[in-house]
Amino acid sequence: MKPKKVLQIVRALDFAAWAHSSQRRKGGAREPYVNHLTEVARLVAQATGGNDEKLIIAALLHDVLEDQSLHVTDEMLLENFGERVAKIVREVTDDKSLPKAERKRLQVLHAPHLSRRARILKIADKAANLNSILQTPPKDWSATRKREYFAWAAEVVAGCRGVNAWIEAVFDERLGLGQF
Ligand code: ZN
């Protein structure tokens, strides 16, 4: 990999760790949020054989716009990481002004219209979330809530399929472990 690409990936990791520094995952282990970002980045890197640094960077930054309390703007992404990365991040960002149920419905609806890269990222994100629920579920989640999350994630991923066999297999394996 070219030195410039390595530098961009490391800058994105540093940016993400800084932006999410006060956040924790909602799972029982309360892992630092950045652990989720590095898992998703690792998954998309493996899925693409390490050949798509823009996608790895977008994976590290994929949640940075959604939480407005982080004060990261689209302009900051554009300026630091360029239009192609900003576009992927935008594609996978929910509109937080909408109620949660509506955001979830829209994710299912929008999935088939995402770019190839955004679909790989979406599947990796959902695979990482399933793993978190399997390994360190939020303490207040009932079996029903876990089942519902798994069913919804499967619906979103159904709209993303046909882009990368490896990441789809990782997702399916985790989905199969969700016997709640
Ligand atoms: Zn995520």
User: For the segment 20-35, what is each residue's pLDDT rounded down to a tens digit?
Assistant: 999 999 888 899 999 9
Is the distance from CB of 76 to CB of 15 less than 8 angstroms?
Answer: no
Q: Where are the alpha helices (DSSP H) in the chain?
A: 3-19, 33-47, 53-60, 74-91, 100-110, 116-135, 143-158, 165-176
What's the domain range around 152? 3-176
Computed from CA positions of residues 159, 163, 167, 172, in that sequence, does the dihedral angle turn out positive or negative?
positive
Distance CA 21, CA 33 (A): 7
Given the residues 31, 52, 66, 172, the one annotated as active site? 66
Give residue 61 CA to ligand 1 midpoint distance, Å: 9
Q: What is the mean pLDDT of the chain?
A: 96
Give residue 62 CA to ligand 1 midpoint distance, Å: 6
pTM (predicted TM-score): 0.96
Active site residue 66: yes
Angle, helices 33-47 vs 53-60, to 10°: value is: 160
CATH code assigned at 58: 1.10.3210.10
Given the residues 31, 52, 67, 155, the one annotated as active site? 67
**What pLDDT score was predicted for residue 77?**
97
Give residue 68 CA to ligand 1 midpoint distance, Å: 15
Give residue 125 CA to ligand 1 midpoint distance, Å: 5
**Consecutive sets of 10 residues in the chain, 180 residues long: mean pLDDT of each?**
93 96 90 96 98 98 90 96 98 94 97 98 98 94 97 98 98 96
- Tell me if residue 24 falls in helix, strand or coil: strand
Give residue 121 CA to ligand 1 midpoint distance, Å: 9
The encoded tokens of residue 49 equal 């054989």
How many structural domains compose the chain?
A: 1
